[in-house]
A = this chain, B = another copy of it.
Amino acid sequence: MGVSRKTKSVSELLGVFEQTDNALSVVELVKQLDQKMNKTTVYRILDRLEDSGELHSFMGKDGLKWYAKCHDCSSSHHADLHPHFQCRDCGKSECLDIEIALPKVSNHRIDTAELLLVGSCQDCLNQQ
């Protein structure tokens, strides 16, 4: 029954998210967990954690998939509708704690949205 079983692999993957407030790209996760599990396993666990509402995903500027912890989501309802920020200098991404309103578009049914803000993060601004 999904992820509630919480295997060793799932715990190890979630452990990586415990250590940061940033979002994590799949590439980064596969790299960090390389000694502990196969990359196929990483992809599959991420799928399951997204289905169960523990993580959400978004696409980065470069077309890579990123994951971050959900706050008020469940498997039946994804409540998180917030923008994400990606730094064009260091590449890091993070969730922004801001509400975004879905615009009404005539002749379209809008189900969801992804807003990606691109710029420079504090760390990179300071280093210049």
- Given A59-B59, A111-B88, do A117 and B98 touch, yes or no (CB 8 Å)? no
Tier of interface size on chain A: 20 to 34
How many Å lie between the Cα of A119 and that of B111 in the bound state?
A: 5
Inter-chain contacts of A107 with B (CB < 8 A): 121-122
- Given A113-B117, A117-B103, do A108 and B83 touch, yes or no (CB 8 Å)? no
How many Å lie between the Cα of A116 and that of B110 in the bound state?
A: 10
Whether, in the assembled complex, A44 has its beta carbon less than 8 Å from a beta carbon of chain B, the answer is no
How many Å lie between the Cα of A38 and that of B120 in the bound state?
A: 36
- 7 A-B pairs within 8 Å (CB atoms) are namely A85-B105, A100-B103, A110-B119, A111-B118, A111-B120, A113-B117, A115-B116
